[in-house]
Amino acid sequence: MAKIEIGKNDFMVDEPLNIRVYTSEPGQQITIRMEMTDDEGKTFLSQADFISDESSVIDLNTAVPMNGSYNQADGSGLLWSMTGKKGGQDDYFVKKSDEDLEAGIYVMTEDEILATAVLTLQFKNDLTEMIEIEDPDIKGRLYAPAEDGNYPSVMILGGSDGGNEAHAASFLAGKGYLVLALSYFNDDGLGEHLEKVDMEYFKKASDFLAGHAKSNGKVNLIGYSKGGELALLLGRTFNAYQSIVAGAASNYVTSGMKGGIFAPVPGWMLDGEPLPYLKMKFPVSFMISTITNYIRKRPMYFLDIWKRSLSRKKSSEYKIEVGEISAPLMMISGGEDKLWPSAVFSEEMMKERENEGDVFLTYENAGHFIAFPYSFHQLPSIVHMNLDGMVIDFGGTKQDNAEAAKNTLTEILSFLKKNNSGKSDFSK
């Protein structure tokens, strides 16, 4: 027999875990398996083999697996190393709702299950409330501390999947912020695709946040991937934000998207006109390699496409003038980002900025999904996505991406706290 000890049943998603397994005798070899289901109903799992110490204990914070889905002492290793149960090189874990996640823990030998337990990961704590958005034109989810008060506000802008990041907004509200997870396509009452989205919509949402009864008038932006590009555009266009966090972001205006793929349509509108955008250059060789990779079930990535597209003489015309943004910026990128060259974009922006409050974080071995609001180190780390049989490689390794996610969350929270003591340019 065996016993699993997790201390308590419910943990906030960023809260350190203390999982221990007690075996019947010292030196016993067992397998610990973990399973969890994402918002789309896909099952993810991980497992590792261990030998109990002289006290018949396996402490996941200190025990090194003999073999398994991760290979170092890490109390969160069974979480971030999870992959899709169906295989097919798919570890794209979808989490958007603020509902708890339950991870089943199983202690096994080859012959039997010795013990089971359930670990619950929470995003919304008991001191946080969801607030109804009274303006019917603004789509998303709004969260704040339940206690009366005036709090700095944050608008979270997701990427090419659309909808909103309610899980991230509810989590951040628990840190003392009024947070709007804003939808701008692929949600009720909005367009299906990221196409011709009016920039005034975001200005209206910003004004709504600044004037909310629980706001202190300060509006911060957090955007990721395509949402990071958007955050920079908003900072340049309206120039009235307290701070801006842009993860895996482009400093170019890029095209709209359909079905999660870049399409030859404008993504953004301003004053009734489409914003000019960098057009993607798809050579015949790319199309051939895509088909070949699909047939052979090999991962594909878009990095070479970006290099070709950026090599055009006119590409600089579509650059976002980040030097004109008055708000301090935090830029987060992975050196192995294979969706687009976010680390190169970040280097370019660093050269154009003169704000002493800026923070540039590049994780050399990490890929595209390495930071809040998409990545937490205690959720399955994302490297690949299987899109109807086509495997997309986002770069990095599960371990490197998870380590970056842990570090960047601390950095983001520190950056927000530091930049919310002055007066906002948005009036209440």
The residue among 122, 157, 188 that closes a domain is 122
Statement to judge: residues 317 and 189 lie in one domain:
yes
Stretch 239-247: mean pLDDT: 97
Residue-wise DSSP of 358-376: -EEEEETT--S--STTT--
**255 lies in the same domain as 355:** yes
Q: In whole angstroms, what is the distance from residue 17 CA to residue 210 CA?
A: 37
- Residue matched to tokens 């050269």: 351
Task: Verify that 83 and 177 share a domain, yes or no.
Answer: no
Please state, rounded to an integer, the average pLDDT across all residues of the chain: 94
Q: What is the pLDDT of residue 291?
A: 77
Task: Using the 3D structure, point to which of 122, 151, 178 is the last residue of a domain.
Answer: 122
143 and 113 within one domain: no
Task: pLDDT band for 300, please (50, 70, 90 cuts).
Answer: confident
Rounded distance between C-alpha atoms, residue 220 and residue 311, angstroms:
33
Residue 101 to residue 39: CA distance in whole angstroms: 9
Q: How far is CA 112 from each of CA 51, 104, 108, 201, 262, rounded to the nearest angstrom?
A: 16, 16, 6, 57, 49
Q: Is 297 helix (H, G, I), strand (E, B) or coil?
A: coil
CB contact set of 406 (below 8 Å; sequence gap of 6+): 377
Determine, yes or no, domain membership for 364: yes
Q: How confident is the model over 95-122, as a mean pLDDT?
A: 97
Q: How many domains does the chain have?
A: 2
- 178 with 281, same domain? yes
Q: Is the pLDDT of residue 426 over 50?
A: no
pLDDT digits (tens, 9 = 90+) for 130-177: 999 999 999 999 999 999 999 999 999 999 999 999 999 999 999 999
According to DSSP, residue 59 is labeled E
Residue 425 falls within a domain, yes or no? Answer: no
Provide the annotated active-site residues.
225, 337, 368
What is the domain range of residue 105?
2-122
Indicate if 102 and 196 belong to the same structural domain: no
Query: What is the C-alpha to C-alpha distance for residues 415 and 272, in angstroms, rounded to an integer?
Result: 35
CA distance 103 to 119: 5
Look at residue 427 and tell me if it is in a domain: no
Q: Rounded to whole angstroms, how far apart are CA atoms 255 and 176?
A: 35
**Full DSSP string of 155-203:** EEE--TT-S--HHHHHHHHTTT-EEEEE--SSSTTS-SSB-SEEHHHHH
**CATH code of residue 97:** 2.60.40.2240
- Mean pLDDT is lowest, of 68-72, 327-331, 390-394, 396-400, for 390-394
Distance CA 125, CA 108 (A): 33
Residue 119 predicted with pLDDT over 80: yes
| Residues 158, 115 share a domain | no
Residues 6+ positions from 162 with CB-CB distance below 8 Å: 183, 184, 185, 186, 187, 194
Note whether residue 424 is domain-resident: no
Residues 89 and 185 grouped into a single domain: no
Please report, for the domain that includes residue 294, its CATH number: 3.40.50.1820
Integer Cα distance of 349 and 402 in angstroms: 25
Residue 423 domain flag: no
Co-location of 396 and 340 in the same domain: yes
pLDDT score for 390: 81
- 297 has pLDDT over 90: no
